[in-house]
Structure 1
């Protein structure tokens, strides 16, 4: 990294100076965020990559300081938010979400470059070095995204269909919740066992961990989908069904957004596919529930 600290700083407009202060503040804050996340990262390779990015951010902040002449402190709220996000959702998601926000500043860099040509040099340096370092990150939980997708997607399809069918067949939220819970727990054990046997047959040493991710994702999804049937009283089964459908959509939005940030996968396409399958199965099962109820003449 070149050292330009002794270069003569040209006179610039108040507007450009204000933008530089924003950039400097951002670099100072992000450098601290990377240092905080690195301090809690056990894997030495990931820690080294995060610390190198922190150094890059600090170096860019110093280049901006030549123009402002101000020493800035990190924004505590933003540092705390991203540190907590890294603990809960993983450091890969936290840092890529932060860097995606930086990507929206391209126009501002170009405007600033009219007065400060160095701006585009700093921008190019960020893209070249920081993106390369981000690609070096290897978080364990992202290695099991396939297992989580398998568990969550299978639970979505099976449980939305099952609960929708039971809703019209039983018309009682407590009976639906009971039946759904028994079905969901049995399906969780079945899915986790199948994932274990599948990965074990491939000779993978992490078969148990992969099965655990699948089972946990399945069970959490089951619990969330059954929840409306426990909250509404016995007669409001259609309200419970509608709430369950809303929860399905919210889960799909949240999970696909997470994947779009952490792994750079397309959000709209994946969301559309998963929502179409889950809701399509639910609608078909709902109709089957009506037909079966009428055909068997069962009135619970």
Structure 2
């Protein structure tokens, strides 16, 4: 007999299992690769078994949440299958601990616990997520724009007196650099032995990520008239962009969010501070004001 607290946990997990069952079935229907489809169907069947296990304990029935399934499928469409499923599987860590506490009372829980552990391994082994294949291109464009433009804008912010001048200069440099980066990425991708990566798509990811990052960084200089305010908002935007991207990669690839974010922040802010010092020196000793 489970306690009221355990019953609440069991009902939560029962709902999770039927949601996961519906999600994996939906992914199987969308999947074009037969081997991947079989894996999704297999996991869906296991999730249904897990749901029935909880149904015996709680004595209650649950239905999958259509709204939640649509939300997960939206995540798959926008961020790729790897991100969405890793997000789902991260929730399973809590479930695994709960299963462990039931080993003595319910021996079947041990089998389910083992299956839950194997799910992530199966998914990692089967997935060829195109969005992750091109993650390197996004890193190249975004990181290069963050490092170059935060440094450049910080440097010229004190050399130029007007924020719009800084913004226009940064925008011109950003567009030119994005085209240059896209061209270089195209040539790099053509030499890549991985035939699943298309050079034109790789170049597009690089260029677009560079332009979008440029827009985030230069926009404050068109919105604010004070240099200090524009710089502060620019750095805030850079930090948000860095954290958002690294959160995506940390979840999708199972890497450390803190380590990736701290490294990218140190590089970006370090270059910006050096450039800011150079700009300050130019402004102080040469008296350039535009």
* TM-score exceeds 0.5: yes
Aligned with residue 217 of structure 2, among 215, 225, 236: 225
1:73 counterpart SS class: coil
Gaps of 5+ in 2: none
Residue in 2 aligned with 1:295? Answer: 285
User: Partner residue of 2:48?
Assistant: 58
Aligned equivalent of 1:30, options 3, 20, 45: 20
Q: Is residue 203 of structure 2 the alignment partner of residue 211 of structure 1?
A: yes
Say what the alpha-carbon RMSD is for the aligned residues. 2.0
Moved more, 42-51 or 21-30: 42-51
Output the TM-score relative to the length of structure 2: 0.91
1:123-152 Cα distance to aligned partner (Å, 9 max, x none): 112212453244311111111111111111
Deviation at 1:63, TM superposition (A): 2.4
Cα deviation per residue 1:22-64 (whole Å; 9 max; x = unaligned)? 2211100111122233434444444433333222211211222
Shift of the 51–225 alpha-carbon distance from structure 1 to 2, 3 Å rule, reads farther
Establish whether residue 265 from structure 1 lines up as the match of residue 255 from structure 2: yes
Q: How has the CA–CA distance of structure 1 residues 80 and 129 changed in structure 2, closer, same or farther, with 3 Å as cutoff?
A: closer
TM-score (norm 1): 0.88
> 1:233-278 deviations in whole A, cap 9, x for unaligned?
x3x1211110110111111111111111101122111111110010
Aligned residues: 288
Counterpart check, 1:151 vs 2:144: no
Taking a change above 3 Å as real, the CA distance of residues 44 and 228 of structure 1, as seen in their structure-2 partners, is farther
Note if contact 1:53-1:130 (Cα within 8 Å) is conserved in structure 2.
Answer: no
Find the aligned partners of 1:169 and 1:60 in 2 and give their Cα distance.
Answer: 65
SS in structure 2 opposite 1:135? helix
Equivalent of residue 170 in structure 1, options 154, 160, 163: 160
How many Å separate the matches in 1 of 2:48 and 2:127? 20
In structure 1, the gaps of 5 or more residues are: 1-10
